[in-house]
Amino acid sequence: MEALSSLGIDWKSLIAQIVNFLVLLFVLSKLLYKPLVEMLDQRKKGIAKGVADAKAAEARLLQVEEEAKEKIKGAVENANEIVEKASKEATKQAATIIEDAKKKSFQIIEKANESAQKRQNEIMREVKKDLADIVETAIIKITSKQPAKESIDQAIKELN
C-alpha cells in the first residue's frame, strides 16, 4: 500500500471508486445494456425479416412474371390456331360456294339451252306449218287444184 501512497493514490478512495464503478456497471448492465442489446437484436431480426420478405416478394414477382409470359404465349398460340382454323374454314367455304355457283351456272346454262331448243323446235314447227300453207297455196295457184294432204306433207319432208 505504500507503493500506492508513493504514487499519490489514496487506497480508500481507490476502493470506493472501484466499488462505485462496479455498482455503476451492474446498474447500467441491468437497466441500459440488456434492454439496448434486446432492442438491437429485435431490430436486427426485423431487418433480416424485411430482407427475407423482400427476397420472397422478388421471387414471387419473378414467378408471376414467368406465369404471365407463359399465359400470354399460350394465348398467342391459341389465337394463332383459331386464326389458322378460321382461315382454313373460310377457304373451304369459299371453295364450296364457288363449286355451288359453278353447278348453278351450269344448270342455268343447261336450262337456257333446253329452253332455246324448245323454242327452236316450236319455231321450226310453226315454220313448217307456214311452209306447208305456202306450198299448198303455191300449188293451188300454179295448178288451180286442191292438192292432197299427203302430197304436201311429202313435199315438206323432202325439203328437210
Q: What is the mean pLDDT of the chain?
A: 88
Structural domain including 25 reads 2-159
Number of structural domains the chain divides into: 1
Which range (18-22, 45-49, 54-58, 141-145) has the least confidence? 141-145
pLDDT band at 159 (very low <50, low <70, confident <90, very high): low
pTM: 0.43
79-107 confidence digits (pLDDT tens):
999 999 999 999 999 999 999 999 999 99
Q: Do residues 155 and 134 make contact, with C-beta atoms less than 8 angstroms apart?
A: no
Tell me 147's DSSP state.
P
> What local confidence, expressed as pLDDT, does residue 125 receive?
86
Q: 8 CB contacts (<8 Å, ≥6 apart)?
A: none
The x, y and z cell numbers of residue 129, run together, are 306449218
Q: Mean of the pLDDT values across residues 126-131? A: 83
**How far is the C-alpha of 28 from the C-alpha of 35, rounded, in Å?**
10
Q: What is the 3-state secondary structure (H, E, C) of 12-38?
A: HHHHHHHHHHHHHHHHHHHHHHHHHHH
Q: What is the pLDDT of residue 140?
A: 78
Four-residue CA torsion sign, 122, 128, 132, 138? positive
Residue type, 73: K
